[in-house]
Amino acid sequence: MAHTDCTQLLHVQDRKVRAIAKAAGVMALTLCIHGGAAAQTLEDLRISVGYTNNFSSGYDRSRHTYDADWFRTVVADPPSRQIVANVCPSFATGRIRMDPLDDGIHCSDEEARLAPEGASALVWTVSGPHPHLNKIVELKQERKLLHDYKALPGSRCMPLERKKVVEDDQCQIKFDAPTPSREVANVAESYSVRFEVVDGANQVLASRSQSVPVPRRVPLIVSVGESLAAGEGNPDMPGDAADAHFDPLNQHDCEDDTSVMLKFDLKPSMLKQPFWMEPRDHRSLRSGPALAAKQLLTEWPYIAFLSFAKSGSVISSPEADNDILEQLEHVRRVVGNQRIDALHISAGGNDVGFSDVLKTMAGDFRGSDAEKVLSHFMAKLLKLRDDGYPKIDAKIKELGLNIGQVLINEYPGSLFNDENDEPTKGCGVFDTSTFWSVSKRDAVAIRNMGNLLNAEVKLAANTHGWHLVDGISEKFAGHGYCSGQSFYRFAAASCDTQGDFDGTMHPNEEGTAAYARVLARELRKVLPKPGQGPVHGPGQGPGQGPVQGIDTAN
């Protein structure tokens, strides 16, 4: 096949337009029409390469954990990795005028993805290293003919004009790219994906190529902890609670009866149940750690992410199921000796009774003075320092986990601060007139306790050589529960989207996004760059402090 690469930047005369286009990352391609015809343009023809990074793959919901064989053969040591190459968004959508086949039938215009003028077929070619010969060869080629738009079967309308259209299966392909041999496991072999638009004479009208790195080993992020790490308040697919008619004897409406439902632990009727990656633990792939891992996919071709976090977990408790120490045991059973580049931990909030705000309000705060509450909190905080965090460190060493870096995050804190980041009285279900009253004095105490907890997290990071994920509290400043732009899930919203009040006071979509951005920033500092193997500084081994030699650009 003749190959003419027609890729070039569209010349923009106006400087302002050119600057805007450059800032937006927009690229247009000149479509070379052979045979002396005037050049046309096919704007924004770009190959988008997607890698198989489905973070829920391999998870066995019946056993509440990941499949160890899946991890070994798909994540840790796979023979190949699946690539998805896509140019579908490059083709503009246009209207097809429709004409009725029978009198009295009304036909509306239909929309379709239109092919460029003169195009006859789309051709995909994948090239890469031969598995046995020391040279680059074409590994796969797919030629997909374009067809005129056709009405749906059974339609009483027909197109008035012949226009070739591009279907989803024509403008994208999937292929398995072999991974490098174990001897060069940390080297990314490169494959080339070429996309061409050809006319009826097989002449190339436009083309675009992109290199695709395919490493054998990929960075592995593992997350353990409680509700903040699990994603409480943010199910993978929100549910929908039914609106109840007002009935003083049967108050089950999330919006109107919130305080009553909280007081008597009432649940709404659900029109649609929420979907969780792990419903038992309220674990979601819309959690901060999962979203942070997804953000990194713009820089790393692959990221492996496993979450073992459970809402309500404490560090260690004989009464609690799947506490954080037990989560680490699950990690060992799944991952084995494989390298964990970043072990993320969110721990301590439940141990001091801070993150489970509703229970704290009903227990410690109601009917108590601030001094007594603070004294009770300080006792828990000292236990966290002397017994809690040291148990995590000891458990990691006992299990022999192969960890590049342990990261521990601070907490949002300042739950009832206003737009100026000053403590304010509660609102909604926490209004001073309700059963769950939060006064301004309570809000001050909550802020102080949040600061003390974060100071303890920082001390633990310094003591055990962990990497502190700080800046989260700063991102939440001015976004308290009762602020104009709250970063916290309201009680009524938790009731409506997940059928309970467990999500109340946990980060909402905006808060979770802020948490994810901070965590992604810190992960960039410790993960090996694409094509780079695990790096230790002098005298460092697994879990022994910050990884050296890593680019720390935010």
How many whole angstroms separate alpha carbon 428 and alpha carbon 417?
A: 14
Given a contact cutoff of 8 angstroms between Cβ atoms, the answer to whether 136 and 126 are in contact is no
Residue 38 is given by DSSP the state P
Let me know whether 201 and 342 are in one domain: no
> 117 with 25, same domain?
yes
User: What is the average pLDDT across 56-70?
Assistant: 92
Residue 20, pLDDT > 90, answer: no
State yes or no: pLDDT of 529 exceeds 50. Answer: yes
- Residue 53: closest CA among 227, 215, 229: 215
Tell me the average pLDDT across 246-259.
Answer: 83
Is the same domain home to 286 and 362? yes
Closest CA to 407 of 331, 347, 467: 467
Min mean pLDDT across 35-44, 104-113, 490-499 is at 35-44
* Whether residue 140 is found in the same domain as residue 288: no
Distance CA(192)–CA(136), nearest Å, equals: 10
pLDDT given at position 185: 60
Query: For residue 95, how many other CB atoms are within 10 A of its CB?
Result: 12
Query: pTM for the full model?
Result: 0.79
E strand or H helix that includes residue 270: strand 270-272
Query: Over the chain, what is the mean pLDDT?
Result: 83
List pLDDT tens digits, range 305-323.
999 999 999 999 988 788 9
Q: Which residues face 212 on adjacent strands?
A: 191
Cβ atoms of 197 and 42 within 8 Å: the answer is yes
Q: Does residue 241 share a domain with residue 159? A: no
The neighbour count for residue 176, using CB atoms within 10 Å, is 16
Report percent pLDDT > 90 for the chain. 58
CA distance 262 to 434: 11
- What pLDDT is stored for residue 419 in this prediction? 95
User: What are phi and psi for residue 126, nearest 5 degrees?
Assistant: -110, 125
CA-CA distance, 18 to 26, in Å (whole number)?
10
Is the confidence at residue 363, as pLDDT, over 50? no
Q: Identify any residues that bridge with 468 across adjacent strands, giving them in sequence order.
A: 408
**Better-scored residue on pLDDT, 164 or 57:** 164
Q: Residue 160: in which H helix or E strand, if any?
A: none
Final residue in a domain of this structure, among 179, 213, 247: 213
Least confident span in 2-6, 39-43, 366-370, 524-528: 2-6
Residues 399, 403, 404, CA angle at the centre, nearest 5°?
165
| 147 or 43, which is more confident | 147
**pLDDT range class, residue 153, cuts 50, 70, 90:** confident
The residue ranking higher by pLDDT, 22 or 215, is 215
* pLDDT value at residue 538: 30
For residue 442 the two structure tokens come to: 């309570």
Percent of all residues in the chain with a pLDDT value above 70, rounded to a whole number: 82
The predicted pLDDT at position 17 comes to: 31
What does the block give as tokens for 40?
């046309």
- Contact between 255 and 287 under an 8 Å Cβ cutoff? The reply is no
- Indicate whether 192 and 56 sit together in one domain: yes
The confidence score (pLDDT) of residue 9 equals 25
**Per-residue model confidence (pLDDT) at position 298:** 82
pLDDT over 90 at 171, yes or no? yes
CATH number at residue 87: 2.60.40.10
Helix and strand numbers, DSSP H then E, in the chain: 13, 24
Residue 65 sits in which domain range? 15-213
Q: 473 and 239 in contact (C-beta within 8 Å)?
A: no
The predicted structure's pLDDT at residue 534? 52
The answer to whether position 527 is within a domain reads: no
Q: Average the pLDDT over 183-199 and give the result.
A: 83
As a whole number of angstroms, the distance between CA 463 and CA 405 comes to 14
Q: What is the mean pLDDT of residues 524-538?
A: 66
Tell me, yes or no, whether 10 lies in a domain: no
Q: How many domains does the chain have?
A: 2
Question: What is residue 403's predicted lDDT score, i.e. its pLDDT?
Answer: 97
Domain at 410, CATH number: 3.40.50.1110
pLDDT at 15 over 90: no
SS3 114: strand
Cα angle, residue 233 at apex, residues 230 and 234 outer, rounded to 5°: 75
pLDDT in tens, 431-445: 877 777 888 888 888
Clarify whether residues 138 and 230 are in a common domain. Answer: no
Residues paired with 174 in a beta bridge: 84
User: Does residue 287 sit in the same domain as residue 205?
Assistant: no
H-type alpha helices, 302-439: 324-335, 357-360, 370-383, 389-399
User: How confident is the model over 256-281, as pLDDT tens digits?
Assistant: 899 889 888 899 999 999 999 999 99
Specify the residue for token string 């458990």. Answer: 395
In a domain, 391, yes or no: yes
DSSP codes joined into one string, 482-532: TSTT--B--HHHHHHHHSSSTTTTSB-HHHHHHHHHHHHHHHHHHSPPTT-
What is the per-residue pLDDT for 30? 28
Q: What is the pLDDT of residues 118-135, one digit of tens each?
A: 999 999 999 998 878 888
How many Å apart are CA 502 and CA 507, to the nearest integer?
12
Asked whether residue 359 falls in the same domain as residue 424, the answer is: yes
Q: Of the residues 185, 213, 241, which one is the last residue of a structural domain?
A: 213
